[in-house]
Amino acid sequence: MTKKIWNAGEEKGEIRTPFEILFDYAQRVKEDTEGRIEGVVTENISDSSVEVVYALYLVVPELRNYSYRLIEVTQQNAFTPYPVIMRLFGTVAGNVVELLDVPYERFDKELLKLIDNPLTKIIIQGLYTHIEIKRKYQR
């Protein structure tokens, strides 16, 4: 039997990248908000550094695709996915929750904490309020 040389992803215990995990959570946003808000994940690789920045946006189609950058994950080395820096952006400048050196083993747990954070709930409620205002005044 010949050994496979192109076998990436076939090993058990494969580490999922921050992008893959964020993407999974982004896919759940639409269902959890009855279609009012969608989740989108972006990836930005800086020309001047080896950092990769992933961002989870909340997008509101009904508000001309208004987007809110909710969570940012910075992979400090393009070739090593973990540890990462995680940030939850608040509604006021400087209102940021930041977690440093988050390893793979804690990433999912910390991401859930950011999603369940009271600040996130306030942001989503604010988006709902804007949707309702638009519906009320643009008949």
The three-class DSSP label of residue 40 is strand
Residues 70, 26: contact at Cβ < 8 Å?
A: no
Q: What is the pLDDT of residues 88-132, one digit of tens each?
A: 987 666 678 899 999 999 999 999 999 999 999 999 999 999 999
pLDDT for position 6: 56
pLDDT for position 70: 95
The answer to whether residue 56 sits within a structural domain is: yes
Q: What is the pLDDT of residues 10-44, one digit of tens each?
A: 455 688 999 999 999 999 999 999 999 999 999 99
The answer to whether residue 10 sits within a structural domain is: no
pLDDT for position 3: 55
Average pLDDT, integer, range 51-75: 95
Checking if the pLDDT of 5 tops 60, the result is no
Checking if the pLDDT of 138 tops 60, the result is yes
pLDDT for position 13: 67
pLDDT for position 40: 97
Owning domain of residue 105: 18-137
CA angle 104/106/110 to nearest 5° reads: 120
The answer to whether residue 5 sits within a structural domain is: no
The answer to whether residue 7 sits within a structural domain is: no
For the entire predicted model, the pTM comes to 0.84
Contacts of 85 (CB under 8 A, 6+ apart): 73, 74, 76, 98, 99, 100, 101, 102
The answer to whether residue 72 sits within a structural domain is: yes
The answer to whether residue 6 sits within a structural domain is: no
The answer to whether residue 11 sits within a structural domain is: no
The answer to whether residue 87 sits within a structural domain is: yes
**Domain total for the chain?**
1
Tell me the torsion sign for CA atoms 27, 32, 35, 37: negative
